[in-house]
């Protein structure tokens, strides 16, 4: 074999390997675990719809898009979107907790002011 045919085969082999790796990255195993986690996270965060509507809407949108990607067997995108949906659901829960904590803090401060006011009148 001459030098040119070896280089041609090496290039062809490299191109084939790249194509095979690319195919694996788009058709690997279905991200069933990530989808289950995302579904559970969004379900759990649903109780916080009033306190974190934007974050919950983002989580639901990404979960819907992940389900669409699963249907198309675009598992890489499905995995990414499922992970993002779970993160957005966690953010919704944290935002809701923060809102509840803020309200509780306001109530405590109001109670303290009322007590101080009563003490000042005594």
What's this model's pTM, rounded to 2 decimal places? 0.67
pLDDT at 27: 53
pLDDT at 109: 93
Angle between helix 75-121 and helix 3-27 axes, rounded to 10 deg: 50
The string of pLDDT tens digits covering residues 40-49 is 999 999 988 7
The DSSP call for residue 49 is T
Residue 97 to residue 110: CA distance in whole angstroms: 20
**C-alpha 18 chain-centroid distance:** 29
The string of pLDDT tens digits covering residues 55-110 is 999 999 999 999 999 999 999 999 999 999 999 999 999 999 998 898 888 889 99
For residue 67, with 0-12 CB atoms within 10 Å meaning exposed, 13-18 middle and 19 or more buried, which class applies? middle
Q: Where are the alpha helices (DSSP H) in the chain?
A: 3-27, 32-45, 53-71, 75-121
User: Which of 98, 97, 82 lies closest to 40, judged by CA?
Assistant: 82
Residue indicated by tokens 């809102």: 99
């Amino acid at each position: 074999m001459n030098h040119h045919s070896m280089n041609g085969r090496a290039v062809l082999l490299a191109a084939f390997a790249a194509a095979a790796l690319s195919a694996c990255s788009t058709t690997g195993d279905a991200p069933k675990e990530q989808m289950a986690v995302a579904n559970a996270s969004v379900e759990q965060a649903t109780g916080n719809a009033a306190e974190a509507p934007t974050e919950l809407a983002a989580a639901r949108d990404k979960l819907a898009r992940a389900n669409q990607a699963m249907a198309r067997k675009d598992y890489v995108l499905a995995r990414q979107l499922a992970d993002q949906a779970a993160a957005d659901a966690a953010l919704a829960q944290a935002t809701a907790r923060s809102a509840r904590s803020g309200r509780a803090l306001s109530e405590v401060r109001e109670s303290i002011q009322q007590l101080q006011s009563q003490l000042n009148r005594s």
